[in-house]
């Protein structure tokens, strides 16, 4: 393992602790009582009685002072026990593991789909800037970037589920269920990826070494695929990894509209409910995911550009 990566990983526990502490403090500082929220959730529409709220509070151990509660959580967390969600009554690790596959599947599909759309389009547009293809792709991605995901999702359901009846309107379980959520997520992502690919490649194509290569008479595909693209990929990879991080955190809008059983809605619901163990668990998972993706970026940079290998720095 490279020394830089080791150094990075050594810091992870400290980062996790810091994030958990800040999140816990924010949760306790903002108004909202988990016991009251839970009472309202369990019996929608009814004013919870003070006795009920007090009983739930006692049941969940919320009467203890905040530092005691955090300490208790931390003691469990270092042993791998992230506590029990107030809402589901299940261990948070169980909840996260139950929802991770759906999130990972959706994230991977959306990312691959957006790469499949954005990379070829971006390359083609950069090779012929100002052409009709460039303009068409540019307008299309602008549309994909500006239409809110919620609108796109509902329109997708209206066309493909209600009118054409080709795809299910919601749910998970089969490949058909994956299509609409993945396409909606990929639309925004491919818009961004297209722009980055096009801009990066355009910039690289104008560099001196490529002019030299062109003057030497290298065939265009060798020029682009072997020499230009490799250099242009660095920002694209960065963006992909950042996107992967965000997608692994779940896609709240898409999960809400399609009833997709992912982590995003779980985390957001937990925040609204002030379900501290669930929020902390989700945040730890997300922090860990980003740390790992960060390490992945470093490795990818090194592979793409020898100058950037951390060990040689």
Partner 1 sequence: MAFLDSPPDPAAGGGFQSVRTGLAETLFRLNHRLEPEGWLALSAERPQPLTWELALRPNVTFHDGAPMTAEAVKASLERALSKPSAPGALLDIARIQTKGAATLAIETNGPVPTLPGLLSDPSFAIVNAAAAAQQGEAFADRPVMTGPYKVVSFQSASELVVARHEQHWGGRPASPRVVFSYLPDASSRALALQAGDIDIADYVSPESVTTLQANGGLEVRAGESVSLVFLYLNQRREPWQDVRVRRAVASALGREALTKAALQGRGSPAQGMFPPSMLRCEGTPLTPPQVDRARQLLAESGFTETDSEGYLLRRGQPLTMTLLTYRQRPELPLVAEAAQASLKAIGVRVTVRMVESIGPALRQPDWDAATYFNNMATTGDPYWALWQFFSSGGSANAGGYANAKVDVQVQDLARLNDRAARLQAGCAAAQLAVEDVAVVPLMHPLYNYGVSKAVTGFDRPHPFFMYLMDGGVGRR
Q: Quickly list H helices, the chain.
A: 3-10, 12-29, 34-42, 50-59, 66-78, 92-127, 132-146, 149-156, 175-205, 208-215, 220-222, 229-248, 252-258, 263-273, 276-304
Q: Which of 13, 12, 1, 11 is nearest to 299 (CA)?
A: 1
- Residue ranges that bind partner 1, judged by CB under 8 A: 31-33, 36-52, 55-56, 59, 87-90, 95, 98, 154, 157-158, 161-162, 165, 168-171, 256-259, 261, 265-266, 269, 272
Min dist CB 48 to partner 1, Å, is 7
Q: Which is nearer to partner 1, 194 or 260 (CB)?
A: 260
For partner 1, the closer CB: 101 or 294: 101
If the CB atoms of residues 93 and 238 are measured against partner 1, the closer one turns out to be 93
Least distance CB 162 / partner 1 (angstroms): 5
**What is the smallest separation between the CB atom of 78 and partner 1, expressed in angstroms?**
23
State in angstroms the smallest separation of the CB of 258 from partner 1: 7
Backbone angles phi, psi at 84, to 5 degrees: -115, 135
**Which two structure tokens, joined as six digits, stand for 15?**
């980062």
Q: How far is the CB of 67 from partner 1 (least distance, A)?
A: 21
Q: How far is the CB of 62 from partner 1 (least distance, A)?
A: 12
Burial group, residue 98, by CB count within 10 angstroms (0-12, 13-18, 19+): middle
Shorter beta-carbon distance to partner 1: residue 101 or 220? 101
- The β-bridge partners of 91 are 84
Q: Choose between 242 and 256: whose C-beta lies nearer to partner 1.
A: 256
Comparing CB distances to partner 1, the nearer of 51 and 311 is 51
* DSSP designation for 84: B
Q: Distance (Å, rounded) from C-alpha 75 to C-alpha 24?
A: 14
């Amino acid at each position: 393992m490279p020394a830089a990566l080791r150094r990075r990983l050594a810091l992870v526990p400290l980062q996790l602790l810091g994030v958990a502490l800040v999140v816990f403090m924010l949760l306790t500082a903002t108004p909202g009582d988990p016991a009251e929220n839970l009472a309202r959730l369990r019996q929608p529409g009814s004013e919870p009685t003070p006795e009920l709220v007090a009983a739930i509070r006692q049941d969940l151990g919320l009467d203890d002072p905040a530092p005691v509660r955090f300490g208790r959580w931390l003691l469990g967390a270092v042993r791998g026990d992230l506590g029990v969600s107030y809402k589901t009554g299940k261990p948070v690790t169980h909840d996260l593991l139950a929802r991770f596959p759906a999130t990972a599947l959706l994230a991977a599909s959306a990312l691959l789909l957006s790469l499949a759309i954005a990379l070829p389009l971006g390359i083609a547009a950069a090779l012929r800037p100002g052409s009709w293809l460039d303009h068409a792709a540019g307008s299309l991605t602008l549309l994909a970037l500006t239409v809110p995901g919620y609108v796109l999702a509902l329109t997708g359901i209206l066309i493909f589920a209600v009118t054409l009846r080709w795809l299910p309107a919601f749910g998970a379980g089969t490949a058909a269920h994956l299509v609409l959520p993945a396409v909606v997520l990929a639309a925004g992502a491919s818009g961004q990826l297209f722009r980055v690919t096009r801009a990066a490649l355009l910039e690289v194509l104008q560099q001196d070494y490529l002019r030299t290569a062109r003057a030497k008479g290298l065939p265009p595909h060798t020029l682009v695929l072997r020499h230009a693209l490799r250099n242009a990929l660095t920002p694209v990879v960065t963006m992909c990894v950042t996107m992967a991080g965000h997608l692994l955190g779940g896609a709240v809008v898409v999960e809400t509209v399609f009833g997709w059983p992912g982590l995003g809605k779980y985390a957001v619901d937990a925040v609204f409910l002030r379900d501290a163990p669930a929020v902390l668990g989700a945040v730890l998972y997300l922090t860990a995911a980003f740390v790992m993706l960060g390490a992945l970026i470093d490795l990818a940079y090194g592979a793409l550009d020898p100058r950037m290998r951390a060990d040689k720095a």
